[in-house]
Copies of this chain bind each other. A is one copy, B any other.
């Protein structure tokens, strides 16, 4: 047997192991030696080319992290539609609890190293949200909402859908002029400014991303809303109330499993006896850790809770659950828009951050689309109320009435 034939056989054996360990996806795997493994029963959706044997070995050891890192480094090339292939993978790939011991160890170690303590959370949030407002402006909607939009119809634009999301939340909360609202994880201030300008409420936005807070304050000033909207650099654990309404959009994911009960304690401390609140978050059907590669490279310290875990954190407050809505298809669509816009700015991003950064973010956005399409990821809005809340409407029809706001506010500000 020649060296080349031996290399081919070894690579083929490793590819075979890898194909089995990843649940036999309908994808052809191909090594640099030319060795390949094809799915047995159906034509492959596409091909994954692995550049060298070190990468092959790493893929066996810790498939998720190795795949992401090798894709980033260009040691893995994907032929075919990336999203469809990730979708197929996510449907067959065993969860981390059924992967090998090393992968499980790394996942657990990261959970510890990235714990969302007060300092840990600040570091974790800084790593993602302080990449520069300019970067996010390239591919988010002009108003800068970095969370699941709400498509009243599937062909709505991203801008329309992001505004519809804010309106949907405000209607669910039944905001009244003059009320006090806490917005925890207020991003670039988009929702806080919407609530204040359209619903006449007083909002305090809390955030630990410095860049976001600076931008949000500037926008409030430009819109003449500084008197009604305040952006405060503060960890959620330090907030004091009371507030008539609580809202948190895309922030619960960063709280961490160990701290969900703390979040529940904060909510019941700051929500008035006749108040209510809404949590909007990426969640799961059952308890499982977040993808280790996403935690390593994109969202350190992230944990996606189940609705049940969230209800457990609310239960000691004797809140009534009023409405839980699953918006899973909306996040797939939102991410499709983002990925599309991201690709159109990929050249600019590469010049600023490098090619590897572009590939990392492409994989993140594509795998999130795949997750929402397959149901590996879910998007929940949970509306709850204190015992004394008296504004429970007879039906939810008011959420589906035509737009109520005849006049728009005189000045709106885009982030710049």
Residues of A that sit less than 8 Å from B by CB: 150-154, 285-286, 306-308, 311-312, 315-316, 318-326, 328-330, 375, 378, 380, 387, 392, 394-397, 399-400
Given the interface contacts A375-B387, A387-B375, does A320 sit within 8 Å of B328 by beta carbon? Answer: yes
Bound CA–CA A375/B330 (angstroms): 33
What is the chain B residue whose CB lies nearest that of A322?
B326
**Residue from the set A152, A306, A321 with the largest chain B CB neighbour count within 10 Å:** A321
> CB distance B395 to A400 under 8 Å?
yes
> CB distance B392 to A326 under 8 Å?
yes
> CB distance A394 to B151 under 8 Å?
yes
Bound CA–CA A307/B309 (angstroms): 11
**Partner pick for A308 among B312, B322, B329, CB 8 A cutoff:** B312
- Shortest CB-to-CB span from A328 to chain B, Å, is 7
- Shortest CB-to-CB span from A150 to chain B, Å, is 8
Chain B residues whose C-beta falls within 8 Å of the C-beta of A319 in the assembled complex: 285
* A-B interface, 6 closest residue pairs, ranked by CB to CB distance from nearest: A324-B324, A308-B311, A397-B400, A322-B326, A400-B400, A286-B315
Chain B residues whose C-beta falls within 8 Å of the C-beta of A396 in the assembled complex: 325, 396, 399-400
> CB distance B306 to A311 under 8 Å?
yes
- Shortest CB-to-CB span from A171 to chain B, Å, is 12
**24 interchain pairs (CB within 8 A)?**
A150-B395, A152-B397, A154-B394, A285-B319, A285-B320, A285-B321, A286-B315, A286-B316, A286-B318, A306-B311, A311-B311, A320-B326, A320-B328, A320-B375, A320-B378, A321-B326, A322-B326, A323-B326, A324-B324, A325-B396, A395-B400, A396-B396, A396-B400, A397-B400
- Shortest CB-to-CB span from A331 to chain B, Å, is 12
**Partner pick for A380 among B308, B321, B329, B375, CB 8 A cutoff:** B321
| Identical copies in the complex | 2
What is the chain B residue whose CB lies nearest that of A286?
B315
**Partner pick for A285 among B307, B315, B325, B400, CB 8 A cutoff:** B315
12 new A-B contacts, CB < 8 A, other than A285-B321, A321-B326, A397-B400, are A152-B394, A286-B318, A307-B311, A308-B311, A308-B312, A320-B328, A322-B325, A322-B326, A324-B324, A329-B392, A396-B396, A396-B399
Bound CA–CA A399/B307 (angstroms): 23
Chain B residues whose C-beta falls within 8 Å of the C-beta of A400 in the assembled complex: 395-397, 400
What is the chain B residue whose CB lies nearest that of A326?
B322
Bound CA–CA A378/B394 (angstroms): 14
Chain B residues whose C-beta falls within 8 Å of the C-beta of A397 in the assembled complex: 152, 400
- Shortest CB-to-CB span from A149 to chain B, Å, is 12
Chain B residues whose C-beta falls within 8 Å of the C-beta of A329 in the assembled complex: 392, 394
**Partner pick for A153 among B307, B311, B324, B394, CB 8 A cutoff:** B394
Bound CA–CA A250/B316 (angstroms): 26
- Shortest CB-to-CB span from A393 to chain B, Å, is 9
Chain B residues whose C-beta falls within 8 Å of the C-beta of A378 in the assembled complex: 320-321
**Residue from the set A322, A394, A395, A396 with the largest chain B CB neighbour count within 10 Å:** A395
Bound CA–CA A18/B392 (angstroms): 34
Bound CA–CA A323/B352 (angstroms): 43
- Shortest CB-to-CB span from A317 to chain B, Å, is 9
Bound CA–CA A136/B220 (angstroms): 61
Bound CA–CA A380/B400 (angstroms): 21
Bound CA–CA A387/B392 (angstroms): 32
Bound CA–CA A328/B399 (angstroms): 18
What is the chain B residue whose CB lies nearest that of A388?
B375
- Shortest CB-to-CB span from A369 to chain B, Å, is 16
> CB distance A318 to B285 under 8 Å?
yes
Bound CA–CA A315/B288 (angstroms): 12
